[in-house]
Structure 1
């Protein structure tokens, strides 16, 4: 079984919660249902699982009164095996986006307090049919992603001791032994190809076969197509698909700001804005916003009309380039502009799964760009991503102009430090905060 950090989050919720239900959101097939079931098996004597997509008959149980006794009565009418044991039952409402009234019911389930409740959904913000009201104050919402790089390391045989050993080199700013560094640089390229979708990771662990992994990634993308078809009208679904499958071209440009003209020649934002919002709400993409001024606090300077778009799973992005490209990427022989965009999305993947905000700095079309901005103790730290070991003109200019406490350069190389510039291997992005 894949070890997931979400398990610790679920345990913490059970131990510390007051009157609140838990709502876990995220893209399809990132492992939400599996981890909730495992948590339930380990922590509850009794489980009541309702899947509104698989068994729509249960939607009617939430059409009338939403008091807990009424819900118990209505659910038991539709399945005689359902039992509720006070203090020992977890009610798991899966695919809750299919039943808006069930989300409203979270307030009353929480107020009742006799039974714990976790809900999960994949298309929240996209597919709610008719929600009477959002249970503000009675639900704790958490976004779940596919496996992050550390979870991938766990899955492929690394324990916390070995990972901690690597972290010591980062904290001490010392070069990691070259033989170990080379292995880990290859390991993060391996992660980029496989990605973090649990089914793809499991196939890789069991077979070591990149071809079978690619087939699984194609299956997952086909399921995304099905969702787009299911939830959208014909004109809208075409626009959403065009935007999603333009990501490889968007990230291969020198200026990686999302451009609608890449989707369709001469296209304007008003035609496709809703399509990107849909993909974001479905958990398939994240926006990385430009800031007008790289000063703390960054949210004060975000420019909402200037953004890059990254896939939420690096493996899904790389699969869109086709299978033949994977060998070149794995062997670090890939050339051309696409390489830089892939490595940027790899770091975006690591950052978003650490719950770090995605922001960048590009003051104008003709000036250099800083790929990411982090904050530390009220100061902004620039992060430049290099697929190779090239010069850092953008970073040098940023240091000269804004005098950050230090600057980060992520490369396919080793740890090094010159003045304010700290160079670290790409995989050490997992240690950034």
Structure 2
């Protein structure tokens, strides 16, 4: 049984006196259905669950009349044993992207207020055009991701007090005990290879077999391609798939900025920008935008035409590569992809921590992998897969671009690489 932080968010939502229907959004197979089922069983007397993909006939319930009593009566006739008691029943509308009328009905459940409603879907950003009356202002949205590194550590049997023990080194900026450091780096490499998709993590817990892990990851990737074929419109099918398959090639380049020419020679944003947005809306990729100046506020000076693309789950990125990539990562030897993979995992960790992703590049000569707001200042982040503590690019940022603080994440212990430049182990990204 995998522990997930989002369960606390669900409990906080339940305890609100005046709550809106909760819209739980996230990529396919990040554990949305599992967590809602578990939450309902622990917190409600009655639970009614409708899955619009598995039971397509249930979509008819939401045709026509949006009166809540009318909808509830239809559900009770269609799902024997359903019980609706105000304040004691949770209604779960799963895979709601397959029933646009059900999404419209969320407004009426919000206005009615008698029943707690959670709606969930993996492609909620995709089919908004099919929703006749989008319930703006009538839902509370929560995004769910695959397991973050801390949740992964829980799954591996690492107690919370041990994680807090590691955080103590972070807080005090002191060198991590070498035995602890080496074990944490081993867990970190495992997390890169396995990723955070719940079924993949559970497969590893049950079998400790990386071949079965890879098989489960590739089944998920196949499901993603099936979603593209099923939900992307017309020519977007081939274009979204081409963008998706280009991600490893993009990350292997010396210049990490996303290049449409890697997808198709001489192609540009006009042809493929919508396809990339489709992948983002489906929860498959993250965008990392280039800053025009490395200063706060980031949002105001980001160039939306210049960006990098990362997979939201690094384990799935590894699964796209050849069969030996798992062993190479675990053995700390991956050639041209190594730096890109470590960038991807740090970007994934930052995004799960709530950071929007930004980087900085100056004339292709100076690049900083990430910028985050940390302690209310613009903080430069450099990611290195080696133990090299030198930080020439970081030093240049501080000396020439009015940046006051930098952190180098590396295969190294805690330390410093110059004035205002901290060196931290890669796994410390979870505390930033």
The CA deviation at 1:65 is 2.1
Give secondary structure in 1 for the equivalent of 2:371.
strand
Partner of 1:370: 368
Q: Distance in 2 between matches of 1:76 and 1:33?
A: 21
After TM superposition, the structure 1 = structure 2 runs for residues 233-248 of structure 1, keeping only pairs within 5 Å, are 233=233, 235-248=235-248
- How far is the alpha carbon of 1:377 from its aligned partner? 4.7
The two structures, once aligned, show a CA RMSD in angstroms of 1.3
Residue 326 (structure 1) shift = 1.4
Kept after mapping to 2: 8 A contact 1:384/1:395: yes
* Other-structure match for 1:214: 214
For 1:134-149, list aligned pairs within 5 A.
134-149=134-149
Residue in structure 2 matched with residue 227 of structure 1 by the alignment = 227
Is contact 1:57–1:78 with CA below 8 Å preserved after alignment? no
Q: Within 5 A, what are the aligned runs for 1:100-249? A: 100-128=100-128, 130-233=130-233, 235-249=235-249
Is 2:290–2:359's contact at 8 Å kept on the other side of the alignment? Answer: yes
Deviation at 1:233, TM superposition (A): 4.7
Match of 1:380 in 2: 378
- Structure 2: give runs of 5+ residues left out of the alignment: none
SS at match of 1:40: helix
- Tell me the equivalent position of 2:34: 34
Structure 1 length normalisation: TM-score? Answer: 0.97
Partner Cα separation in structure 1 for residue 101 and residue 44 of structure 2: 25
Distance 1:378 1:3 in 2: 31
Task: State how far apart, in whole Å, the 1-side matches of 2:419 and 2:392 are.
Answer: 15
What's the CA shift for 1:60? 1.9
User: In terms of mean alpha carbon deviation, does 370-379 or 23-32 score higher?
Assistant: 370-379
Question: C-alpha displacement at 1:77, in angstroms?
Answer: 3.0
Q: How many residues align?
A: 430
Unaligned runs of at least 5 residues, structure 1: none
Using the alignment, how far apart are the partners of 1:17 and 1:363 within structure 2? 51
Moved more, 128-137 or 241-250: 128-137
1:429 equivalent in structure 2: 429
Q: State TM-score, norm by structure 2.
A: 0.97
After superposition, the Cα gap between the structure-2 partners of 1:120 and 1:17, relative to the gap in structure 1 and judged at 3 Å, is farther
Which moved further from structure 2: 228-237 or 193-202? 228-237
Partner Cα separation in structure 2 for residue 377 and residue 153 of structure 1: 26
Would the aligned equivalents of 1:100 and 1:129 in 2 still touch at CA under 8 Å?
Answer: no
CA distance, structure 2, for counterparts of residue 165 and residue 79 of structure 1:
49
The Cα of 1:129 is off from its aligned counterpart by: 6.3
Inter-CA distance 137–127: structure 2 relative to 1 (3 Å threshold): closer
Return 221-230 or 73-82, whichever deviates more.
73-82
| 2:200–2:217 contact (8 Å) kept in structure 1 | yes
Q: Is the contact between residue 386 and residue 409 of structure 1 (CA under 8 Å) also seen in structure 2?
A: yes
Do residues 258 (structure 1) and 258 (structure 2) align?
Answer: yes
Other structure's SS at 1:382 match: strand
